[in-house]
Structure 1
Amino acid sequence: MITLENIEKVYETKSQRVIGVDKVSLTIQKGEIYGIVGYSGAGKSTLLRCINILERPTSGKVIVDGVDLLQLSGKKLREARQSIGMIFQGFYLVSSKTVFDNVAFALKAAGVDRAERKDRVLELLSLVGLADKANQYPAQLSGGQKQRVSIARALANNPKVLLCDEATSALDPSTTKSILSLLKKINEELGITIVIITHEMEVVKEICDRCAVMQDGKIVEQGASYEIFANPMESLTKEFIKTVLDFQLPAKLVQNCTGTLVKLQFRGNLAEEAVVSDMLQQHSVKGNILHGKVEYIREKPLGIFIMEIIGEQPEVNKAINYLENRVQQVEVIQGVS
């Protein structure tokens, strides 16, 4: 659906040359939810705006649904942009217009007649859960409701792609969750390809099929979200993952442990099986779970546990060997196996 080839965006000033996006290439499949993660200044929002040519890349190709948008201009580019909806952190609603008129504005600009506009607006407001807010004004809405209006407006012209630029950053955790659920619903029911820019790995964990991590205008790591969480390769990615999956034990607790400390990773259905219990029953060792959690990455379980194994060293070794044959990753943190 979306292919970016060697996208570069350079800003020239009298005193310096700033590279906003540095030769980025990626492919986003039709119907998936793709996350682009990075800290402020990483270039992620600039890259997103290159997809609909709100920022014209200095070089490279932007291919959306088989069309290289950089080869279009004027009317043809405007028509192509109608298939790409966009929502922002700041909502950008017209305060003097009602909810109905804010959504209808995009349809009016596209030349849709009044009767059809009305039906479409009411359909969209129902989709985003605001059917009863049509005659209210933005000032009367909560932040989450304003973002729902923005989403309805972005969907007005039946886009094939929806770009979300930090769409949940200004919202509280509960509202963020409801907006992410709405985006997931839109993706599943309408088949719209969604690209999400965020600095929150919780967003990626919740709804993204795949993701890319950006730093200094470049993509440093990309892949299936589950694999990124389960096995991050780059230090920046690991830093982001820790905001969701932090398993650092207090130093005092580690010092007081007399056995062997191991970190275990369980993927998929194995995260819900009694592997540790089976190990303790089959080997002459004792075990203490010191830290553990099962997270769900796009609804697929990923379990990470830290435990102390106590016993004679040969039995501890056998227990660890048993775990290595049953789980995806076993890391000895302290003690000799």
Structure 2
Amino acid sequence: MININHLSKVYQTKKGEVSGVNNVSLTINEGEIYGIVGYSGAGKSSLVRCINLLERPTKGNITVDGVDLTKLKSEKLRQARLKIGMIFQHFNLVSQKTVFENIAFSLKAAKVPSNQIASRVEELLAMVGLSDKRDVYPGQLSGGQKQRVGIARALANDPKVLLCDEATSALDPTTTKSILQLLKKINKEMNITIVLITHEMDVVKEICHRMAIMQAGKVVEEGDVYEIFASPKNELTREFISSVISFDLPAPVLEKVTGTLVKVIFKGEIAGESIISDMVQKFKVKGNFLHGSIDYIQDAPLGIFVMELNGEKNEVSKAIQYIENRSAHVEVIKDGI
């Protein structure tokens, strides 16, 4: 669906050239929700703005639904952009226009026949749950309602791709959840490919299928969201994940640990099995849970536990091997033997 091939974006500033995106290549599949994560200045917003050529790449090319946008000019590019909707962090609504008029504006710009506009706007308002706000102005709406108008406007011309640039960053947690559920519904029912730019791992965990982590204009890790949460390879990725799932034990707790301290990761259905209790019965060790939880990513359980194992060295080693054979991963944090 979207192929980003060796893309770079360089900005000319008074202090010289600044690299926004540095040789990035990504493939985003049709119908998936793809998250691009990074701190401010990582290049994620520059990258997403290159996808619809709001920013023209310095090098490389962008292919969307088989069409290389970097080779299109004027009218053909405008037509191609109609199939790429975009929503923004600060909504970008016209304050002097009603909700109806804000959505209708996109249809008029696309030269949709005037006799078709009203019914299409009504359909979009119903889709985002704002039929009763048809004639109010943006200033009378909550942040979540404004973003719903932005989503309706972005969907007006039946796009195949929806770009979301920090679409929930200005919203409170409850409203964020409702907007994410709406995006998930749109993705499922309309098969729209969604590219979601964010610095919030909770957002990625909630709805994304795959993700890329960016730093200094480059992709430092990329893959399935569940697998990245289970086994992050890059230090920055681990830092992002720790903002959602933290297992740092307080110093006073660590000081009291005399045995072997391990972190155990259970994936999928294994997370619900009685592996630890089986291990304790099978080997001459005592297990002490210090921290743990089971999170759900795309409705699949991911269990992460920190525990202390006490016993003879040989028994502890066999117990760890037993857990590892039946789980995804065991990491020895502190060897107490």
Matched residue, 1:80: 80
Aligned-partner Cα distance in 2 for 1:119–1:129:
15
Secondary structure of the corresponding residue to residue 304 of structure 1: strand
> Which residue in 2 is equivalent to 1:330?
330
Q: Which residue of 2 aligns with 1:234?
A: 234
Higher deviation after alignment, 208-217 or 5-14: 5-14
The one-letter amino acid of 1:274's match is S
- Residue 21 (structure 2) aligns with: 21
| Alignment partners' CA distance in 2, 1:101 and 1:141 | 15
CA drift of 1:304 comes to: 0.4
Could you list the runs of 5+ residues in structure 2 that have no partner in the other structure? Answer: none
1:228-286 Cα distance to aligned partner (Å, 9 max, x none): 11111111111111111110111111111222211100001111111112212222322
| Stretch deviating more after TM superposition (292-301 or 165-174) | 292-301
**Secondary structure of residue in 2 paired with 1:220:** strand
The whole-number CA distance in structure 2 between the counterparts of 1:261 and 1:86 is: 47
Q: Secondary structure at the match of 2:95?
A: coil
Q: Which moved more, 1:90-99 or 1:319-328?
A: 319-328
What does residue 309 of structure 1 align with?
309
Alignment of 1:46-125 (within 5 A): 46-125=46-125
Instruction: Please state how far the C-alpha of 1:336 moved relative to its aligned partner.
Output: 4.8
Q: What is the letter of the counterpart of residue 239 of structure 2? A: E
Shift of 1:325: 1.4
Which amino acid is 2:43 matched to?
G
User: Secondary structure of 2:87's partner?
Assistant: strand
Partner of 1:297: 297
Where does residue 246 of structure 1 map in the other structure?
Answer: 246
Deviation per CA, 1:51-93: give whole Å up to 9, x if none. Answer: 0000001111111111111111111110000000000001011
Which aligned pairs between 1:53-202 and structure 2 lie closer than 5 A? 53-202=53-202
Matching residue of 1:209: 209
Q: Give how far 1:114 is off.
A: 2.9
Q: C-alpha root-mean-square deviation of aligned residues, in Å?
A: 1.2
Question: Can you give the 5+ residue segments of structure 1 that lack an aligned partner in the other structure?
Answer: none
Structure 2 SS opposite 1:87? strand
CA distance in 2, matches of 1:47, 1:159: 19
Aligned to 1:6: 6
Q: How far does residue 14 in structure 1 lie from its aligned partner after superposition? A: 4.5
Residue of structure 1 equivalent to 2:35: 35
TM-score, length-normalised on structure 1? Answer: 0.97
Q: Letter of the 2:270 partner, please give it.
A: L
Q: Which runs of 4 or more aligned residues in structure 1 lie more than 4 Å from their structure 2 counterparts after TM superposition?
A: none
CA deviations over 1:194-223 (Å, ceiling 9, x no partner)? 000001111111111111111111111111
- SS of residue paired to 1:325: helix
Q: Distance in 1 between matches of 2:221 and 2:125?
A: 38
Alpha-carbon displacement from aligned partner over 1:3-44 (angstroms, at most 9, x marks no partner): 111111111235311111111111101111111111101111
Whole-Å Cα distance in 2 between the matches of residues 318 and 18 of structure 1? 54
Match of 1:222 in 2: 222
- Report the Cα offset of residue 289 of structure 1: 0.9
Residue pair 2:258, 2:336 contacting (<8 A) in 1 also: no
Deviates more, 1:151-160 or 1:109-118: 109-118
1:170-212 alpha-carbon deviations (Å, 9 max, x no partner): 0011111111111010000000000000011111111111111
TM-score under structure 2 length normalisation: 0.97
Q: Which amino acid aligns with 1:164?
A: C
**Cross-structure match for 2:275:** 275
SS in 2 for 1:56: coil
**One-letter amino acid of the counterpart of residue 323, structure 2:** L
Provide Cα deviations, 1:278-306, integer angstroms capped at 9, x if missing partner: 21222232222110011112221111001
Q: Which residue of 2 aligns with 1:257?
A: 257
Q: Distance in 1 between matches of 2:198 and 2:24?
A: 17
Farther-moved stretch of structure 1 (13-22 vs 219-228):
13-22
